[in-house]
Amino acid sequence: MDDAADMGLDGKVAIVLGGGSRGEGIGNGRAAAILLARAGARVLVADTVLANAEATVAMIEEAGGVASACAADATSSESCAEMVANAVSRYGRLDVLDNNIGISAKGSVVEQDEAAWKHLMDVNVTGMFLASKHAIPAMIASGDGGAIVNISSISALRPRGLTAYTTSKGAVIALTRAMAVDHGPDGIRVNCVAPGPVYTPMVYDGGMTEETRDKRRAASVLGREGTGWDIGNAVLFLCSERARYITGQTLVVDGGATIVGPARSHDQR
């Protein structure tokens, strides 16, 4: 498998939670899984939809990488424990966890349904807590520390009418910083990526007009949308030895969208 550069990941074991994508598209998790495998990691691709995880594994194996798939429910402690045990059983250790999970919802606190609020928090925050809770002991047991990347959003930095989502992704940043403090002595680095307007299957699967895409492009000072590969490369960097002295940080990958202009409209997640 092509390995562009030695990033200290050869022979390491990674779990990418949310590593499937709809159809043949390249979402953030799928891109991260492929890039980690290209760098020499053995990757367990976990997703709520097993077929989507298997499709990612097929892409990795076709290029000569090592990967396997499993179904996982991040809101279940038992499922997260099984996911970690699966990785360790298959590959003998665990070094990397990419918590690429999240759902969205529109509306203010007045408009938001209470049950939907609780479900969103369960997926977006509790899911990362549970996956990390079970992954960290396995990383410590492996003896070389590890790296965790949590996926937040620029919504945490610039709210725009997605209040529940914004709150959950703000909690992800706080969780990242707290975990970095707690587990730095164990040699485990914990960082966060905050994507901006990236064009992925999760975004376009429900349909998107060219007018909306134009607005998304205009939100970036670079005048273009990002892709899953942009987020995947950020994850790859933060998991690699090139980021060995970086922890507790949030890497914003948004083409400059958060540094200029007014907040984007509510339909541009």
pLDDT tens digit sequence for 170-191: 999 999 999 999 999 999 999 9
φ/ψ region of 4 (left if φ > 0, alpha if ψ in -120 to 50, else beta) reads alpha
Q: What are the catalytic residues?
A: 165
pLDDT at residue number 266:
47
At 197, the pLDDT band (50, 70, 90 cuts) reads confident
Q: Which two tokens stand for residue 193?
A: 């990526």
Average confidence (pLDDT) over 38-56: 97
For the chain, which residues make up each domain, given as ranges? 13-253
| CB burial readout 91-128, b (16+ within 10 A) else e | bebbbbbbbbbbebbebeeeebeeeebeebbbbbbbbb
Which of these CATH numbers, 4.10.91.20, 3.50.50.60, 3.40.50.720, 3.40.630.30, describes 13-253?
A: 3.40.50.720
Average confidence (pLDDT) over 27-55: 97
pLDDT at residue number 5:
60
pLDDT at residue 3 is higher than 90: no
With a pLDDT cut of 90, the percent of the chain lying above it is 78
pLDDT at residue number 268:
44
Q: Which two tokens stand for residue 37?
A: 């495998």
pLDDT at residue 137 is higher than 50: yes
pTM of the predicted model, to two decimals? 0.92
At 262, the pLDDT band (50, 70, 90 cuts) reads low
CB distance 52 to 71 below 8 Å: no
At 14, the pLDDT band (50, 70, 90 cuts) reads very high
pLDDT at residue 212 is higher than 80: no
Widest Cα–Cα separation across the chain: 51
Three-state DSSP at 10 gives coil
pLDDT at residue number 201:
67
With a pLDDT cut of 70, the percent of the chain lying above it is 92
pLDDT at residue number 2:
47
Q: Give 87-135 pLDDT, tens digit per residue.
A: 999 999 999 999 999 998 889 999 999 999 999 999 999 999 999 999 9
